[in-house]
Amino acid sequence: MKRSIQQGFTLIELMIVVAIIGILAAVALPAYQDYTKRARVSEALSLMSGAKAAITEYYSTNNSWPSNNASAGLAAAASINGTSVSSVTVAGSKITARVRTNIEGSSKDVVLKASPTAGGVTWSCKAAVSGTSVNSKFLPSECR
């Protein structure tokens, strides 16, 4: 009797491979979505860096905080924007970046607050008013 040699994959083997790919995709997709949200929020800090320099210079010159973007020598709040950031606003010792709705369903804020020190100004990330702040898991490590 002649035996036939099996060639290719059986149906069960293919089903197992599809199941494994599905499990890997189920794990990878949420991680990738969080990664893209963190990247969008980090754009806010990049756009705020120019305002940080302007406020630091204003404070060292005038020994007070600027009241708005114009007094800090910056463009209008809505003019400082990016792909994921709709505006960057200066108010006293705070810089607020409004992150667009594609992050968490509604616009959220990232806030940097300046504190005077003997050597100049130090900056720290602060939570915005409750409910308007970006979820802490999306903030860069220096803001958590």
Q: Encode pLDDT of 99-116 as tens digits.
A: 886 666 667 888 889 999
Of 47, 33, 49, whose CA–CA distance to 137 is shortest? 33
**pTM for the predicted model, two decimal places:** 0.74
- C-alpha span between 123 and 93 (Å, rounded): 9
Please report, for the chain, the start and end positions of each structural domain, with discontinuous segments joined by +. Answer: 11-143
Question: Could you say which of 3.40.350.10, 3.30.700.10, 3.30.1490.270, 3.30.70.1400 is the CATH number of the domain covering 11-143?
Answer: 3.30.700.10
**Between 37 and 58, where is the model more confident?**
58
Read off the tokens for 87.
């505006």
Look at 3-7, 47-51, 88-92, 106-110 and tell me which has the smallest mean pLDDT.
3-7
In this structure, are strands 94-99 and 108-117 parallel, antiparallel, or unpaired? antiparallel
- C-alpha span between 43 and 98 (Å, rounded): 11
User: pLDDT band at residue 22, thresholds of 50, 70 and 90?
Assistant: very high
Q: What is the largest CA-CA distance in the chain?
A: 100
Locus of tokens 């069960």: 12
Q: List, edge to edge, every strand of the sheet that includes 94-99.
A: 85-91, 94-99, 108-117, 120-126
Specify whether the CB–CB gap between 86 and 100 falls below 8 A. Answer: yes
